[in-house]
Each structure stands twice: as C-alpha cells, then as structure tokens.
Amino acid sequence: MPICTTRDGVEIFYKDWGQGRPVVFIHGWPLNGDAWQDQLKAVVDAGYRGIAHDRRGHGHSTPVWDGYDFDTFADDLNDLLTDLDLRDVTLVAHSMGGGELARYVGRHGTGRLRSAVLLSAIPPVMIKSDKNPDGVPDEVFDALKNGVLTERSQFWKDTAEGFFSANRPGNKVTQGNKDAFWYMAMAQTIEGGVRCVDAFGYTDFTEDLKKFDIPTLVVHGDDDQVVPIDATGRKSAQIIPNAELKVYEGSSHGIAMVPGDKEKFNRDLLEFLNK
C-alpha cells in the first residue's frame, strides 16, 4: 500500500496511477481520495500521472488525534510532493482541500507547481462577518460539530442531501453518490471530523491566494449549498491574479461525483491541463 510518512510520523496513504505530468488531487471534508476516482481515470487515460492522497485522519491514513489545522495539512502535502519528488504539478482541490492548496502555496510557494484548480473550494474565508456578508453563519458550524459528535452515522446520511442538492427538483444525484459519501465520511475519525470544522470554518486564506503566480482555474456550482459561491469561488477568482472562473449553473457541492457534472468537470479539467 503506497504510504508517505510525514515529518511527524503520520502515514499518508495515496493512489499513484499512470505516467506523465503529475496531477495531484486533494479531497474535501469528510471524504478521502476515493472521491476522485472518476477524475483519476480521466487524467490517466489522457496520459497524465494521477495521485490522490487521504488527509490525516481520513480514509486509510493514520487516524491521529491532533494536527487538524491547515498549516499541518499543507506541510503534509509538501511532504508528499517532496517524497515523490514531484515537479511541474497541477494541484486539483475540492472544498476543504482548496484551503490545503492555498495554504501550501502560502507556506511553500509554487516552485514545484505548474497550475492549480479550485473546485467548490472554501477560500478565501467561509465564516460570515461584516467583511464577508455572504458567508456561513457561526451556528451552522456549531450544528456540524454537534452532528458529528451525537449520531454521526445518521448525520452523514442527512448531510449528503444538501451536499448533492438532492433537495432540489430535477437533481442528478444517485443513491450510489449518497452511499459513497456516507462510506467515506464514516472512515474519518470523529475527532478529525470536529476539528476540521473549526479549521475550514474560520481560517482566512486571503493572503495565501495573493501569492498565487500560476495559472488557476476556479470551478463552482451556483447551487452549492455547502460552500456558497458568492462568499468563496467568485471572490477567490477576483483575488488570485489572472484566475479563470467557470460557474456551473444549478450544480451542487458534489460536482466531481454527480452524473453529468462530473463529465463536464473532467472535460474542463483536461482542457485546462492541455493548455
């Protein structure tokens, strides 16, 4: 089983498929690298090397008690890129993974990178405030933590509804999508589930985004009920120099998994990679 051991002894599991220029996928909360199966196949079939890791406390990686902050996540990512000696890398990040990508650039620069893709990602900042009126209210994050702590199996089943906009007429989500979400969520540690909410809910990545000096594609659904586009995707595209924004009309937070949306995203991703 492919493992990268971090500077503090955490074992990070990853998939590493194909040959060619590397594309590294960074998953969201509460998922793991399995969320990227369709994208991994698409890039490998197109001649790229696809890599997707499980964040600490997620999937097959070490179920640690601590280290659930973005400085640590970014350093874990740096350990992976360094261990595999990856260069000319495109980082593709979903949701919370977008914070990991942004903080990686903020802490480690873009020397190993070719480009970046932010998919339904949390930067620049999620929490609602006077400066961020379109953000998410504090009580939402409290409810997320409470759900994880009280009856997380049912909580994850309920959370999948909004994640995939299954509560909208004419939605494209399948029962399989919901089942896959639940399975991955249950593989996350309970402590990681709670601490990640504190991390992604309140961390400000504005200064990290200003350090981007590589081509960047921002993709976001305008019916994202988890990470509101007006607070995140649109603002990130304004902050990152020369970023390209693609808005998917009517699409949910689960673009990479939902039939129709995932094929569209794969096409846009490959077009971006081939530039």
* Per annotation, catalytic residue among 76, 208, 224, 261: 224
pTM score: 0.97
261 is catalytic: no
Q: Are 235 and 124 in contact (CB under 8 A)?
A: yes
Helix (H) or strand (E) holding 53: strand 49-53
In angstroms, the CA 109 to CA 10 distance is 23
* Per annotation, catalytic residue among 95, 120, 165, 252: 95
CATH fold label, 3-273:
Rossmann fold (3.40.50)
Per-residue pLDDT at 1 = 76
253 is catalytic: yes
71 is catalytic: no
Work out whether the CA dihedral 208, 115, 135, 195 comes out positive or negative: negative
Domain ranges across the chain: 3-273
pLDDT tens profile 36-90: 999 999 999 999 999 999 999 999 999 999 999 999 999 999 999 999 999 999 9
pLDDT tens profile 36-46: 999 999 999 99
DSSP state of 136: B
Q: Residue 137 pLDDT > 80, yes or no?
A: yes
